[in-house]
Amino acid sequence: MAKKKKPKKTVRAQFRKRHEGRTRKTDFTREFKEDAEKLGDSMHGERLSGKGSLTRKRTVTGSVASEEDQSGFEVELDVEASLSRPGRVVRCHGLTSIVATEDGTHYKCTVRGILKSLATDLQHVVVAGDFVTILLSGDETDDDQAVIVRVEPRRNQICRTSRKRQQIIVSNVDLAFIVASAAEPQLKPHLVDRYLVSVEKSGIEPVVVINKVDLVEPSDLQPVVGVWSQLGYQVILTSVVTGAGIAQFRHLVKGRDSVVAGQSGVGKSSLLNAIEPGLQLRVGLVSSDNNKGRHTTTSAVLLPLECGGHLIDTPGIRQFQLWDLIPEEVVGLFRDIRPFINDCRFPDCTHMHEEDCAVKWAVADGKLDVRRYESYCKICEAE
C-alpha cells in the first residue's frame, strides 16, 4: 500500500502594502464624461471588509520562522528539494545576485517575487554571505540563469539603518575586521565604537585593525589602542607599505568566514590584496581636497581564499547608524560601562544627566575612559 503524502504546512503571511488594491472606486466622474451609458452597468455597492484584493495577507506554503532566525522574514518558505539546489550569495548588484553552488558553478539569479513581496523591514532581500536555495531556469540557452526561491535562516548579521529601513551589510560570518586608518583619513574612534556595538550585539568576534601606521608615530596610537586592548578586543596595527601586521591578519582569516568593514579610504581592499595578491581588487587614492576616501568597492563580494575560508569585502561607510537598538540596550553592549551600572542610585538611570550615577563617577575618577563614555552618549542621543 502506497504511503500517503504528508500535507504541506501553510501559514498566513503579511505582504507589502503594494499588494493592497484600491479601496474605493473614485473615478466615476471621469468615466461619465467619457461614456455616460457605462454608469448603468457599474457596481451599486462596495465591500470594505478587507477581504479579497483588499487584504494584505496571503496563505503561503511554509512555517513560522523561529526566534533565532535573523533573516528578517516572518515565515520560512518551503521549496521542492528535488528541483532546487543550495548555494551561497557571492555578490548582489541591482536586481541580480551571483550565487555559487557546492560544485563551484556561479549562477546569475533573480529573486522570487514572493520573497520581495513579504512584509519586512529589509532594504534588500538577499545579501552577500546568505545561504539560499535556487531553482534553475531549465532553459538550455540560459544555463547560468536561476531564481532564488528561499533565503535560509541567518546565523548572524551586521546591519545599519538606511532610509529608515534595515540594511544588512553582510551575514553568516565568524569574524569581523573593523578597519580604520591612522591617517588619510584620520582615525575615528567613535565610528569604530559603533561598529563594536553592532558586532557585539550580533555575537560576532570583532578585531580592530588600524591601517596605514607607517604615516604616524606608533606612540600616538597607544592611548586609543590601549583602551580597546584592555577591554579584551584584539587590535592589529597594519601597513601595506612596510608589511607590518599582514602575517597576523593572514593567520586570523585562515579557514574562517570573515568580513572587512570600515569607512571609505582606510585601505580595506589593499589589505586583502596584501594577504592574497591573486585577488587583484580595485583600490583608489584618498581625495586631496577633503581627505576622504572614494568608493572603489561598490558592493559586498564574497571572496574564497587559497588558505581556506572566505573574506567579504564591503563598500566603505561614512555613517553607521545602528538598527533596532534602544538606548536602554546600549549600556549592556559597552564592556567597560557594564560593570558600573548596578551601583547607580536609580534603576532606570540613563548615565547621562542623573545625579548619584556610578558611571559618571567612574569617568570622574579615571576608571572609565572619557572618550568611550562620549561614544556611549552619542549613540544614545542618536537612537
Predicted pLDDT of residue 56:
67
- Give the pLDDT confidence of 145-168 residue by residue, as tens digits: 899 998 999 999 999 888 888 889
Please, where are the H alpha helices in 83-188? 113-117
In CATH terms, the superfamily for domain 64-151 is Nucleic acid-binding proteins (2.40.50.140)
- Identify the band that residue 5 occupies on the pLDDT scale cut at 50, 70 and 90: very low
pLDDT digits (tens, 9 = 90+) for 206-228: 999 999 999 999 889 999 999 99
- For residue 285, the model assigns a pLDDT of 56
3-state helix, strand, coil in the chain (%, to 5): 30, 25, 45
* Percentage of the chain lying above the pLDDT 70 cut: 80
Write out pLDDT tens, residues 164-190.
888 899 999 999 999 999 998 999 999
- Looking at residue 204, its amino acid is I
Helices (H), 118-221: 189-202
β-pairing, 205-211 with 234-237?
parallel
Whole-number Cα distances in Å, 230 to 200, 207, 335, 341? 16, 13, 10, 19
Alpha carbons 218 and 122: distance in angstroms, whole number:
42
The answer to whether 62 and 9 have CB atoms below 8 angstroms apart is yes
Report which residue type is found at 162: S
More confident residue, 112 or 295: 112
Q: Does residue 264 carry a pLDDT above 80? A: yes
Copy the grid coordinates of residue 106: 556561479
> Which is more confident, 115 or 291?
115
- Please report, for the chain, the start and end positions of each structural domain, with discontinuous segments joined by +: 64-151, 157-313, 327-382
Q: What is the largest CA-CA distance in the chain?
A: 87
CATH number of 327-382: 1.10.40.50
Is the pLDDT reported for residue 140 higher than 50? yes
CB–CB of 74/13 below 8 Å? yes
Does the structural domain 157-313 have CATH classification 3.40.50.300? yes
| Radius of gyration of the chain from its Cα atoms, rounded to whole angstroms | 26
For the entire predicted model, the pTM comes to: 0.81
Let me know if the fold of 64-151 is the same as that of 327-382.
no
